[in-house]
Homo-oligomer: A and B are copies of this chain.
Amino acid sequence: MKLGNLIESQQLTPDILFSLFKSADEIRANPKLFSDVLKGKVVATLFYEPSTRTRLSFESATEKLGGSIISTENAKEFSSSIKGESMEDTARIVAAYADCIVMRHYEEGSAKKAGGVINIPMINAGDGKGQHPTQALLDLYTVYREIGRVDNFKIAFVGDLASGRTVRSLCYLIGKFSNIEVVFVSPENLKMKDDIKEYLERHNVNFREEQELSKLLPEMDVIYMTRIQKERISVEDYEKAKGRFVINKDNLNLVKKEAIIMHPLPHVEEIDLSLDIEQNDKRVAYFRQAENGLFIRMALLKMLLE
């Protein structure tokens, strides 16, 4: 019931998940009790591509536990890399200076490869088209906190389901729990891929695809919105998809009082709510979701490093 590293969502068994959720709740309730947990420990954030938010979240989590950070957001231009050093060697050297590596890389499988040659914990903070397991972790933790359970609920995934790594990763976790109903809502050209559908089938998760948001909203417990990832698709695909599914003041009225709107952020036009609504409507959960990322990463670092 203890992890040695975190490379992919599949490692997160229900036991480990509940243990992390409980720990995150405890840390949130009394952070001062945990302010020396990582004293004397150094976490390296080794980012081969920038992801400022993910990096800042891990760094804050480390520091709030009393640990310290060594960091590079330009590991691709790491002075050793450009001299021809392999990623594995770079990881080995950084492992000589640190007690844990948090790695972001542009190639799928990198975290696994680098994790295999070091003797300290490796956390995958995103590996290309692969996984981003701590995002799935914070997403499920948000469901847990906001609707009070991780089974027996209805969730709609809305938007660009073809490119989005977060939805895919969260589906892996959903497969571990029961009585979850999944609805995929996406433009024709950005549908969820078959591998995830097959995974859900294998794990007996009911899912279906829909095209009309307004019909769905009244029955959902969680509406998980995603951005159309302009940078990963063609201009034509973007123009077709843009603005196709939007949460605004009008259809927010259709959402159940106790349901929540999630979003991995950044959001653009797919959320069209005034500042006032974003600040005061309890159903707008995505800024709390970001905050949950801090506490669940603290719990994870504590589990891996204590």
How many copies of this chain does the complex contain? 3
Instruction: List 11 additional A-B contacts (Cβ < 8 Å) besides A52-B72, A57-B97, A96-B290.
Output: A32-B40, A35-B39, A40-B66, A44-B56, A52-B80, A60-B68, A80-B266, A83-B266, A89-B266, A93-B265, A96-B293
For this complex, into which size category does the number of interface residues on chain A fall? 35 or more
Q: Looking across the interface, which residue of chain B has its beta carbon closest to that of A52?
A: B78
Check A122 for interface membership: any CB of B closer than 8 A: no
Check A305 for interface membership: any CB of B closer than 8 A: no
Kindly identify which residue among B59, B74, B90 contacts A70, using a CB–CB cutoff of 8 Å: B59
A287-B70 CB under 8 A given contacts A83-B231, A227-B83, A231-B83: no
Mask of A30-74 contacts with B, CB within 8 angstroms, 1/0: 011001000110101000001111001101100110101110101
Mask of A72-115 contacts with B, CB within 8 angstroms, 1/0: 10110111110111001110111011100000000000000000
Check A117 for interface membership: any CB of B closer than 8 A: yes
Secondary structure at the A interface, as helix, strand, loop or mixed, is helix
A-B contact pairs, 24 of them (CB 8 A): A40-B66, A42-B63, A42-B64, A44-B56, A52-B74, A52-B79, A52-B80, A53-B93, A56-B94, A59-B70, A60-B68, A60-B97, A63-B70, A64-B68, A80-B265, A80-B266, A83-B266, A83-B268, A84-B268, A85-B266, A88-B275, A89-B265, A97-B291, A117-B275
Q: Looking across the interface, which residue of chain B has its beta carbon closest to that of A63?
A: B68
Check A156 for interface membership: any CB of B closer than 8 A: no
Check A267 for interface membership: any CB of B closer than 8 A: yes
- How many Å from the CB of A243 to the closest CB on chain B? 13
Kindly identify which residue among B72, B84, B93, B294 contacts A96, using a CB–CB cutoff of 8 Å: B294
Contact A85 B268 (CB under 8 A): yes
Kindly identify which residue among B40, B59, B290, B291 contacts A64, using a CB–CB cutoff of 8 Å: B40
Contact B93 A290 (CB under 8 A): yes
A59: chain B residues within 8 A (beta carbon) = 70
A64: chain B residues within 8 A (beta carbon) = 40, 42, 68
Q: Roughly how many angstroms separate A32 CA and B39 CA in the complex, as a whole number?
A: 9
A74: chain B residues within 8 A (beta carbon) = 50, 52
